[in-house]
């Protein structure tokens, strides 16, 4: 367990002061592209994992997109419209804003399940209004997003 930084009293994580602690961070990892893909969400106040999905055959961008939608849907269910969601994926944020996962992943028997999950996520975005801020995680300024899987070489 990381000790809380002495300059912050709202988180157990060593977060930059620009980062809101009342937030969730999401990230995806993919071994190969496409390949086994998974994503997760971390609570920035507690450092706890909120959810994890996968691995399934997919791409990193799809995982980043689904992670944001998963977080939005869970917050909606909880009645929380104020918690910030951080993602380090510009593409995924754009896709969420357009309610469309613009993947070029080949649709075949191996990816069919993931395509069904994508369709469900797009449908959720098209039928729900959310107010939660989705903020680009600034890796150069703040380091790796806390939901990172730590597999970069």
Please give the residue range of the domain that contains residue 109: 23-142
CATH number at residue 37: 3.30.420.10
- The CA distance from 89 to 27, in Å, is 8
147 assigned to some structural domain:
no
Nearest to 64, CA basis, from 127, 153, 134: 134
pLDDT number for residue 1: 43
Please indicate, yes or no, if residue 151 is contained in any of the structural domains.
no
Query: 75: buried, middle or exposed (CB in 10 Å: 19+, 13-18, 0-12)?
Result: buried
Partners of 26 in the β-ladder = 41, 87
Residue 86 lies in a domain: yes
Q: What is the CA radius of gyration of the chain?
A: 15
Q: Does residue 8 lie in a domain region?
A: no
Inside any domain, residue 125: yes
Residue 6 domain-assigned (yes or no) = no
The answer to whether residue 16 sits within a structural domain is no
Task: Confirm whether 137 is domain-assigned.
Answer: yes
Domain tally, the chain: 1
Q: Work out the burial of residue 99: count CB atoms within 10 Å of its CB; fewer than 13 is exposed, 13-18 middle, 19 or more buried.
A: middle
Please give the model's pTM, rounded to 2 decimal places. 0.94
**Averaged pLDDT in 10-residue chunks for the chain of 153 residues:** 62 88 96 94 96 97 98 98 98 98 96 97 97 97 94 63
Residue 118: which residues within 8 A CB-CB, separation 6 or more?
62, 65, 66, 101, 103
């Amino acid at each position: 367990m990381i000790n809380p930084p002495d300059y912050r009293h709202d988180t157990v994580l060593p977060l930059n002061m620009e980062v809101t602690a009342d937030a969730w961070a999401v990230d995806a990892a993919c071994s190969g592209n496409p390949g086994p893909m998974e994503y997760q969400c971390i609570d920035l106040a507690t450092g706890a994992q909120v959810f994890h999905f996968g691995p399934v055959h997919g791409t990193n961008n799809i995982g980043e997109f689904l992670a944001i939608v998963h977080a939005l849907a869970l917050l909606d269910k909880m009645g929380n419209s104020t918690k910030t969601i951080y993602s380090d994926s510009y593409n995924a944020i754009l896709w969420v804003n357009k309610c469309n996962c613009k993947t070029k992943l080949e649709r075949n028997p191996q990816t069919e399940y993931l395509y069904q999950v994508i369709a469900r996520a797009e449908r959720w975005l098209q039928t729900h209004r959310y107010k939660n801020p989705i903020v680009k995680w600034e890796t150069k300024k703040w380091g790796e997003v806390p939901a990172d899987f730590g597999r970069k070489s």
